[in-house]
Amino acid sequence: MSDLWWLVLLLFGLAIALLLLSMRERRKSGLPQAQVVYADTDLWQRVPETLVDHQLGLVGKPDYVMKTRQGSLIPVEVKTGHTPDAPYDSHKLQLMAYGLLIRSNYAQTPAYGLLHYPDKDFRVDFTPDLEAQLTETLEEMRQIESKKVVPARSHNSSARCRSCGYRGVCDQKII
């Protein structure tokens, strides 16, 4: 067999391996297939690099970005732990932030994002209201940071504290 054929076979094998790997990643995430296709290669893909918006002071990386058949990019965030009846506000704001990061990094504005909890998926529309809430929250965070004062806990939910990434350092957590 000629070298060219070996090369073709090698590339074919590599493509199959990548396809299987990507399918395994998707199965692990449990993400839905409906109405979406994957970026470029029709596969679910993780975002290769952290997205940055210097103007908004945002840095982040959604778990996945999907491309719809119409070419729109959709951020997807996977959440573990308890599945709520409705998505938490903080998760919606996080997803909205990814929407803005996609807008500034890929020059297109996603209409919505997906929050994937263990037992249910939620579509979160990126409304002007949600964007305004995020802008307000970011401003509050900047003010808190500049004053170096830790704000008082704004809820009484032990479930929220249990799934919070700051519980290890937070002295207001509910056990």
Q: Which residues lie near ligand SF4 (CB under 6 A)? A: 153, 160-161, 164, 166-167, 170, 172-173
Question: Closer to ligand SF4 at the Cβ: 33 or 172?
Answer: 172
Does residue 2 sit in helix, strand or coil?
A: coil
Q: Tell me the closest approach of the beta carbon of residue 122 to ligand SF4, in angstroms.
A: 20
Contact status, residue 63 vs residue 51, Cβ threshold 8 Å: no
Question: Closer to ligand SF4 at the Cβ: 30 or 151?
Answer: 151
Helices (H), ranges, 30-127:
39-42, 89-106
Contact status, residue 24 vs residue 14, Cβ threshold 8 Å: no
Strand 58-60 and strand 51-53: the pairing is: antiparallel
Q: Tell me the closest approach of the beta carbon of residue 146 to ligand SF4, in angstroms.
A: 19
Q: Tell me the closest approach of the beta carbon of residue 125 to ligand SF4, in angstroms.
A: 25
Residue 175 to residue 162: CA distance in whole angstroms: 7
Q: Tell me the closest approach of the beta carbon of residue 91 to ligand SF4, in angstroms.
A: 12
Residue 38 to residue 172: CA distance in whole angstroms: 41
Question: Closer to ligand SF4 at the Cβ: 19 or 150?
Answer: 150
Question: Closer to ligand SF4 at the Cβ: 24 or 162?
Answer: 162
